[in-house]
Amino acid sequence: MEHKRQRFQFGWLNLKKRRNGPEVWVLRYRKTLEDGRTRTPSVIIGTVNEYPSESKARKASASYLLSMNDQKPPGVSVSFGAVLQRYLTEELPERHSTASRYRCWLKNHIEPKWRDYPIEKIKPLLVEDWLKKLTLAPKSKSHLRTLMHILFNAAMRWELVPYQHNPMSLVRVKDGSKRLREPRFLTAQEFRALLEHIPEPFRTMCIVAMCLGLRVSEVLGLRWVDIDWEGLRIAIRHGYV
């Protein structure tokens, strides 16, 4: 049986109170899942200070609606902010630490700069010039480029832009794979001196991390069953977030 694509929808707007700050306009819309079920994701359009009337909020939500519908009228542009919001609503990674980091990059850097740009107007040289002017470490700039790459891939999958070579793969970041400063390593004597000032159970955690090279999340995720006492091995199976 031929699969029917859902009709273009306009969603519905509601005002939502917040514990702190002014009320916000929330856009809700229906999304049909692959198994035929529907759900109603929501996107915050802005505050009542930004959009005092529903008509102004509706106008601001138009680009979001275009990005969220299966079919987009030909010749109509979708803002990069709309792509970003749909990504936050539908495709943000499930791992809490990764999702938190992505939200931070999007909110503090990508959204303020590119929110109002039509996605087809965002070119590699523009992004490259923007990254050069940011007062961030080269590694952080590489993370921003990677996230822009992910957003463009999502836009192509949603058919908001033509299938093409991802333009963000052409963006260069100088020294993006290098550290600004080499990390300082503790000597054995310095580590012993440090341990004298650390109470338990943190002292034991530091010893485990130092001897095995584990991350904090991996140390916290260790269980007794992860230790092979006879084989003198530890299996790193879990991480605590």
Residue 238 to residue 217: CA distance in whole angstroms: 8
| CB-based burial label for 163 (10 Å; 0-12, 13-18, 19+) | exposed
User: Is there a domain that residue 199 lies in?
Assistant: yes
Residue 1 has pLDDT above 50, yes or no: no
Could you tell me the end-to-end alpha-carbon distance of the chain, in angstroms, rounded to an integer?
44
Same domain flag for 218 and 160: no
CATH number of residue 92's parent domain:
1.10.150.130
Residue 176 lies in a domain: no
Instruction: Supply 237's token pair.
Output: 């199976």
Q: Please tell me the pTM assigned to this model.
A: 0.60
The pLDDT of residue 73 is 56
What pLDDT is attached to residue 134? 93
Q: Which pairing describes strands 227-228 and 42-47: parallel, antiparallel, or unpaired?
A: unpaired
Residue 40, in any domain of the structure: yes
Number of domains forming the structure of the chain: 2
State whether 36 and 144 are in the same domain.
yes
Q: Is residue 214 part of a domain?
A: yes
Domain extent at residue 86: 12-170
Q: Contact, 209 vs 198, CB < 8 A?
A: no
**Alpha-carbon span 17 to 24, nearest angstrom:** 7
Angle value at C-alpha 214, between 209 and 216, nearest 5 degrees? 80
> What is the structure's pLDDT at 179?
58
What pLDDT digit, counting tens, does each position of 106-147 carry?
999 999 999 888 888 999 999 999 999 999 988 899 999 999
Residue where a domain terminates, one of 170, 196, 214:
170
Q: Is 51 or 147 the better-scoring residue by pLDDT?
A: 147
